[in-house]
Amino acid sequence: MKNLQYFFTATTLMLLFFSTGYAQINLNGVCWATCNVDMPGTFAANPEDAGMFYQWGSNVGWSSTDPLIASDGINTWRNLSQSGNVWLPEKNPCPAGWRVPTQQEFQSLINAGSYWGFLNGINGRFFGNEEPRLFFSASGYRAHDGTFMPGNPAGFYWSCTPFNTEAYNLFFRDGNILIQSSFFRTCSFSIRCVAAQYESNVSFYANNVYHSDLPDTTFCKSYVSFLAEMECLNPDSLKWYVNEVEEILVRDSLEWGRNFPNGNYDIVMKAYFENYGTITITSTLKVQTLWIKMRNIRY
């Protein structure tokens, strides 16, 4: 049997830059808010303000000083963190048009250069090699039991990128800055948002094999299972098209598959987001299965 061959090409994964009306600074192609998140859906008044702390995957803020105060008025420490691999849009603590950054975006921030300093008497870190620069306050965090940890001082900022049962976060202090993954999601960190712009971080698989710029990938079955992985994105709905005909509407899943008879197919996936727009991925699928019977072979 000649194996099924799958060829993938990604189209434009671009989506939108929101005009937010808030101050922002572009570093290495990423638009960062100039202030931390304070109450859910709002920014703090000044770059040096700590704002509120948030558990991973939650949109309930906790006070960045004692006493313990919660943005929902229930001032008792609770585990509000989320499991799974996605910071759900409905739990986004950022204002409309903004989202929690990815691990890669924090790495891009580090690559922009930084130094320890003070802004209006507050310890923190400046990012960028020229003006205007971003300032991140070193406001500490709340531990998994709600205890306030001033950090001596240090800054802790969640990314939306998961790591096993934990998640990646930006950590810095005087003389040290890194991306780490060694804290429980129940810990409560600062949030610095980026503009809701999506250009990459989308992976596409067929029969569990990732294909991008690799040579042709071969499979042994005509049944093809597709999987799209979108870092930190959770579509409201998903549609797959075969030769421009709508095949299936999927909710709460990025997977789809079926048998393909011999032939060539144009596969299109469209992911729809209520607040962010649409992501489209296209691919070309070639299926050819041949049974070859061999008799009376002599050597």
Could you tell me if residue 298 is inside a domain?
A: no
User: Residue type at 75?
Assistant: N
Helices (H) and strands (E) counted in the chain, each on its own, are: 1, 25
- Asked whether residue 162 carries a pLDDT value surpassing 90, the answer given is yes
Picking from 145, 162, 195, the residue at the C-terminal end of a domain is 195
CA atoms within 13 A of residue 94's CA, in its CB half-sphere: 27
CATH number of the domain enclosing 251: 2.60.40.10
Same-domain status, 9 and 142: no
* Rounded Cα–Cα distance for residues 97 and 30 (Å): 14
Decide if 146 is inside a domain: yes
CA distances from 15 to 55, 94, 196 (A): 28, 18, 9
Model pTM? 0.67
Residues 279 and 270 sit within 8 Å (Cβ to Cβ)? yes
Instruction: Please work out, in degrees rounded to the nearest 5, the angle formed at the alpha carbon of residue 106 by the alpha carbons of 205 and 93.
Output: 85
Based on the domain organization, do 179 and 238 belong to the same domain? no
Q: Integer distance in angstroms from the first to the last C-alpha of the chain?
A: 23
What is the pLDDT at residue 289? 65
- Hey, which residues does 236 pair with through a beta bridge? none
Both 54 and 118 in a single domain?
yes
Do 56 and 112 have their domain in common?
Answer: yes
- Considering the domain boundaries, does residue 292 fall inside one? no
d(CA 136, CA 130): 16
Can you read off the two tokens belonging to residue 89?
């849009």
| Nearest-angstrom CA–CA distance, 74 and 58 | 14
pLDDT of 224-265, one tens digit each? 888 877 666 667 777 888 888 877 666 556 788 888 887 777
Q: Which residue, 163, 195, 227, sits at the end of a domain?
A: 195
Same domain, 96 and 223: no
Share the mean pLDDT of the chain.
81
How high is the pLDDT of residue 221? 66
Task: Determine the 3-state secondary structure of 202 from DSSP.
Answer: strand
Supply the range of the domain harboring residue 161: 24-195
Is residue 166 within 8 A of residue 181, CB to CB? The reply is: yes
Q: Take residue 69 and report the two structure tokens written for it.
A: 């105060």
Single residue among 178, 195, 212 that ends a domain in this structure: 195
Between these two residues, 252 and 43, which has the higher pLDDT value?
Answer: 43
Looking at the chain, list the stretches that DSSP marks H as alpha helix, in order from N- to C-terminal side: 103-111
231 SS3 class: coil
Domain contains 19: no
Percentage of the chain with pLDDT > 70? Answer: 77
pLDDT band for position 9 (50/70/90)? very low
Q: pLDDT band at 274, cuts 50/70/90? A: low
Question: Based on the domain organization, do 29 and 173 belong to the same domain?
Answer: yes
Q: Work out whether the CA dihedral 132, 111, 51, 196 comes out positive or negative.
A: positive
Q: What is the pLDDT of residues 124-137, one digit of tens each?
A: 999 999 889 999 99
**Is the residue at 296 inside a domain?**
no
Total number of domains in the chain: 2
